[in-house]
Chains A and B, each alone.
Chain A
Amino acid sequence: MSEVSPAWWGGIEMKGSFIVNGKKAEWSFAPDAVLLDVLRNNGHTEVHRGCGEGECGACAVILEGRLVNSCQVFAASAAGQKITTVAGIGSIHSPHPIQQAFVEAGAIQCGFCTPAMILAVFCLLQKTPNPTDDEIRKALDGNLCRCTGYVKIFEAVRLTARRMSSNE
């Protein structure tokens, strides 16, 4: 359910509330603003702009449980919804197992694609805790990485899956 109201009559700004990483925030934005810009302009620089056209995946966030390219979502249509960025699944003080596995497997070189890639893995493992390689490929199909050749990213996913399933 969205909570959006025009800021003032005749104005070109809208206001909406967004629940980002569990915290509610009220932000103003232009009617044609995309979620990527609204997030970045309000401190969430962990969401990256790689192309602005939905083609690279670097801006991906989780919106109401689904991985989406935030550059392809109007902020107005995301208002009132739950958004998770990579900062919402773990922190430098208390990393998520996926973040830890990426570090240990050497799956991070420049790190620009990493936040979105980790969210893609997060969504995959929620649905499919023990994915096959084909399932991994498909889950990451919208996240481009130019540095790693994906080899160690796949290793990180397998490592996480092994660890998380042995913890159950």
Chain B
Amino acid sequence: MNEFSVVGKPVLKVDSLSLACGSAFFTADFTVKDPLFLAFFYSPHAHAEITAIDDSPARAMEGVVDVFHSGNTSSGLFTTAGQGYPEPSPYDTRLFNKTVRYSGDIAGAVLAESDKTARAAARAITVEYTLLPPLFDPEKAMDGDVPRIHDEDEYAPLPVAYRPEQNIAGEVLFSFGNVEKGFAEADFIEEETYNTHCTSHCAMEPHAATASFDEHGRLVIYSSTQVPFHARRIVSMTTGIPLHRIRVVKPRIGGGFGSKQEVILEPYVALAAWKHKRNVRAELTRREVFTTVRTRHAMRVRVKSGFKKDGTITALQMDDLMNTGAYGAHALTVLSNAASKVLPMFNKIPNMAFTGHAVYTTLPVGGAYRGYGATQGYFAFNQHVDAICRKVGADFVEYVKKWHIREGETSEVFRAIGEGTEGVSQIVRSCKLTECLDRGAEEIRWNELRGKRLRSGSVVKGVGAAVSMQGSGIAMVDMGSASMKMNDDGSFNLFAGATDIGTGSDTILSQIAAERLGISVEMIVILSSDTDLTPFDTGAYASSTTYISGQAVLRCAEKIGEQLLSTASSMTGAPVGNLSIGKGGKVINSADGSEIPFSEIACYSMYSRNQFQIQAQASFFGEESPPPFMAHFAEVDVDMETGRVRVVKFVSAGDCGQPINPVLALGQIEGATLNGISYALTEQYLFDAKGKMTNNSFWDYKIYGSLDIPEVKAILAESSEPSGPYGAKSISEIGINGPAPAIANAIFDAVGIRLRELPMTPEKVLAAIKAKAGR
């Protein structure tokens, strides 16, 4: 049991008072002098070639400054995916594509004196298209005789499988052992196909970016971004503006969940600003966010397993087909995660094979979304396991407890599947999944409710469970860094590249630094995510911040600690060996018990002798990606007459190692859980026959609100990850992986029907109930 002063404590989130009082600034809140506004116009067609653009009616409108499109603006190929360079996503898009590839694809942009004028002008532009045949069915994408979505000079910057001639944006192949042999040894074979759907992140803040000039004429971009450093690089790459003339600043972000791990608006505002030497603002409407921004990839997962009468799985085969939409941002990596975060869960299976393809279609573009492929994979995996349990008469909870990967164990999958590069072998050093299962099962009253089908009128109750794991950053790829300097009063400035998108990373990084130096969080002044002022960090994704950025901060604080001790030694003559960091901002001399306050050390170092600034910096990249684990439980009431599924209670019990801040960790679990529940039941993209999204507003795209929330209980297991900062692993993504399969398994428990397609709407549930009853 660790005794920490600041870590593990519910320290108040450092920015929450400013957010509560309205003094905090989001991107669209910054005023810049005399701005111009950028608004986009979009293709109505799913697949077409632009043959002519008549922008003269727009240019003739008062207040219109410029119109950008493929006829007058060229750029190189790139990917909008916010990933390390060179990206594992194909370079398959330009700022303005001449071929448009989904209904809603950007066809051009108007720059005007007001947002209203820009949008009105955009509507006045006539674009002539030659229609090309669309492709909406991913199952057909790799066939020989279907339209090719990308047939120009698209390429993959990394040596990964990329075959646009077959509409393949990414491919993952992996196997060990011999699955056919495994199937032959089995007593039972279970094979089913599951389909997940595309959904929108629905971060409450729509995407926005402002490009402005500082007093030296350098470009300063404020952006609602999860990836300020990738944004800076990609802006430079696409616009030709020298990187050293660009500064990207991330202010408060109104939620991301992966939607802002994408460099969408920044290049356009930069381009327009640089050309006209005027400040430029762009803010997407909510409707545009649905189609212009990325979605969660829809995925078909076919699972086949062979198992013995006692439940031992002899072989597992998974075949994933992922619909990446019109462009391949995150295609390979989301697909990889659907395997790399799912298959290691049962690491004793001797024969395993995974085939995965990400294919292009003329539909909205899939991208990064909390869970990142694991969510889709686990929907299938957990139902499949539930089905195996039913077949052999095993209890799901006991079965998973028996078979899940344990501390000290590894899986072939870790080494085999990376994210565009080789995977990294690792041993699981912390795994409290059994404890999570036990505590969650107790909280949901598993033994009282499971299989009982308690009934009240036409409503039947069921409970279901799911398990998942995620990662903590991308091993050998993600890097974070931090620097610190000391101030007169013993406080420190902490500069972290890490990106707080509402998760509270500013707070937990301050806690880590404060813990190391024995001071309170108030004495750490954090500034994050400014490419001029803070050192590099890959950004807020892959659940990397706590583990990777946290380690960078810890190491930086350690170096500070060393300087404090050596300065104190100079001050007092005491040998460094007798000195240590105490509590409350002081160095303690163990020889005589004397204390030297930090403030005295600071002033001595700055003003007295051998003056120097106590400061340090450190970087960290992970050599492993220790997975958090979670057990998810749902209690549902199913109305047999209407198909309505009500989640009565949901329990998420997780192992995130040592939570740096339990309130923030629980908040991540609670939010991810609710997002996962509406993902499972109510969210969906509806399309017309031409591939246009018809429900691009909250009017018809439904997410859970205060009237819908079930009782949600989040539990943190006692755990500590040896390789993590103060024992921490990640927590932000994993919660979203459980609700869909747990609810599906609970529905089966209640009414004996298995829904393999998302969302599980009342109409689908009712149809399945009636089909089972033979009606």
A binding-site residues for B, Cβ under 8 Å: 45-46, 48-53, 55-56, 58, 85-87, 90-92, 95, 99-100, 102-104, 106, 108-115, 118, 136-138, 140-154
Contacts and interface: CB of A to CB of B under 8 A. Distances in A.
A136 B707 CA distance: 9
Interface residues of B, number: 55
A110 B671 CA distance: 11
B151 interface: no
Nearest to B286: A51
A109 B12 contact: no
A108 B20 contact: yes
Interface in B656-711: 663-664, 666-667, 670-675, 697-699, 703, 705-707, 709
A100 B16 CA distance: 9
Given A51-B286, A55-B698, A111-B502, A148 B671 contact: yes
A137 B663 CA distance: 22
A49 B28 contact: yes
User: Which of B17, B19, B697, B705 gathers the greatest number of chain A CB atoms within 10 Å?
Assistant: B19
A91 B714 CA distance: 32
B285 interface: yes
B255 A146 contact: yes
B671 A143 contact: no
Interface stretch (B199-207, B348-356, B448-456): B199-207
User: What 5 pairs between A and B have smallest CB-CB spacing?
Assistant: A110-B502, A46-B22, A111-B19, A112-B254, A149-B674
The secondary structure that dominates the B interface is loop
User: Which of B16, B25, B664 gathers the greatest number of chain A CB atoms within 10 Å?
Assistant: B16
7 contacts: A58-B204, A110-B204, A112-B204, A137-B707, A142-B705, A148-B671, A152-B663
A108 B13 contact: yes
B443 to A, nearest CB: 14
B230 interface: no
A144 to B, nearest CB: 6
B274 interface: no
Given A87-B21, A110-B501, A146-B202, A48 B667 contact: no
Contacts of B698: 51, 53, 55-56, 144
User: Which of B17, B29, B666 gathers the greatest number of chain A CB atoms within 10 Å?
Assistant: B17
Contact of B712 (A99, A102, A149): A149
B458 interface: no
B706 A52 contact: no
A16 B689 CA distance: 47
B15 interface: yes
A50 B21 contact: no
B21 A110 contact: no
Given A45-B29, A140-B706, A149-B712, A92 B254 contact: no
B26 interface: yes
Contacts of A45: 22, 25-26, 28-29
A26 B663 CA distance: 44
B260 to A, nearest CB: 11
Contacts of B707: 137-138, 141
Contacts of B663: 106, 152
B767 interface: no
A136 B666 CA distance: 21
Contacts of A153: 706
Contacts of A49: 28, 206, 283
User: Which of A51, A103, A138, A147 gathers the greatest number of chain B CB atoms within 10 Å?
Assistant: A147
Contact of A106 (B29, B664, B697): B664
Contacts of A111: 15-16, 19-20, 24, 252, 254, 502
Contact of B706 (A103, A118, A143): A143
A114 B19 contact: yes
Nearest to A86: B22
A52 to B, nearest CB: 6
B286 A56 contact: yes
B72 interface: no
B703 A146 contact: yes
Contact of A137 (B22, B29, B255, B706): B706
Contacts of B64: none
A132 to B, nearest CB: 13
Contacts of A143: 705-706
User: Which of B26, B204, B253, B285 gathers the greatest number of chain A CB atoms within 10 Å?
Assistant: B204
B439 to A, nearest CB: 18
B13 A53 contact: no
A114 B22 CA distance: 8
B105 to A, nearest CB: 22
B369 interface: no
B19 A150 contact: no
Interface in B545-577: none
A91 B290 CA distance: 34
B204 A146 contact: yes
Contacts of A137: 706-707, 709
A116 to B, nearest CB: 10
A115 B22 contact: yes
A36 B146 CA distance: 48
B705 A55 contact: no
B705 A144 contact: yes
A115 B697 CA distance: 22
B645 to A, nearest CB: 18
Nearest to B677: A149
A13 to B, nearest CB: 13
B20 A114 contact: yes
